Amino acid sequence: MPEKIPYELLRAAASAARNAYAPYSNFAVGAALQTSDGSVFAGANMENASYGLTVCAEVGALQAASTAGKLADVVRIGIAGGNLRADKCDGEIVTPCGRCRQLILESARLGSRDIEVWCANLDLSSIKCFKISELLPHGFGPDNLVKIKIQTGIEAETVHSGRR
Ligand code: THU
């Protein structure tokens, strides 16, 4: 692992998981991210009777950071989760789903840094650290849109606003 384990951040993630609304899967996930000024933003998964509208824990945490104007300042994110019905915690860590990897990559590219993604099970007995570049290699990010703009000659403002 590249760095000292951020236990406080992972405990914040595990604590958020306790507030997960996951009555359909019984799988609770919490995420807590840290920005360069030391702020922490947390989220927990929120399921829905129409299943497909489930919101992941990481989305909640990233959305909170974004609302505070700090999406470009995310340094690391801790994710902790597991099955609430299991009588004891297994060693299985939770890694972010594909959509969440894309959202973390957006934040990383905005801040020009490679975000650390600390993945854990609910009792933090298993912890593994990845970089978002490892979890989503060759990802498509905001910088790619700028390249497209250069190639096509369409102005960046047009690309970002979606106006033609
Ligand atoms: N889940 C997350 O919150 N984050 C992930 O990265 C993986 C999956 C949630 C969604 C759903 O509520 C439950 O875990 C089972 O998939």
Quick one: pLDDT at residue 148?
Answer: 76
Quick one: pLDDT at residue 152?
Answer: 81
Based on the residue annotation, tell me whether 58 is a catalytic residue of this protein: yes
Quick one: pLDDT at residue 103?
Answer: 98
Enumerate long-range contacts of 53-59, CB under 8 Å, 24 or more apart.
Answer: 56/29, 56/31, 56/96, 56/97, 56/99, 56/100, 57/13, 57/16, 57/17, 57/20, 57/29, 57/30, 57/31, 57/81, 58/31, 58/96, 58/100, 58/103, 58/104, 59/99, 59/100, 59/103
Interval between CA 94 and ligand 1 midpoint (Å): 9
Q: Which residue segments constitute the domains of the chain, with CATH numbers given? A: 7-137 (3.40.140.10)
Tens of pLDDT along the chain (164 residues) come to 556 999 999 999 999 999 999 999 999 999 999 999 999 999 999 999 999 999 999 999 999 999 999 999 999 999 999 999 988 888 899 999 999 999 999 999 999 999 999 999 999 999 999 999 999 999 999 989 877 778 787 755 544 444 43
Interval between CA 18 and ligand 1 midpoint (Å): 14
Quick one: pLDDT at residue 136?
Answer: 98
pTM of the model: 0.90
Q: Which residues line ligand 1 (CB under 6 A)?
A: 22, 25, 27, 29, 45, 47, 54, 56-58, 94, 96-97, 100
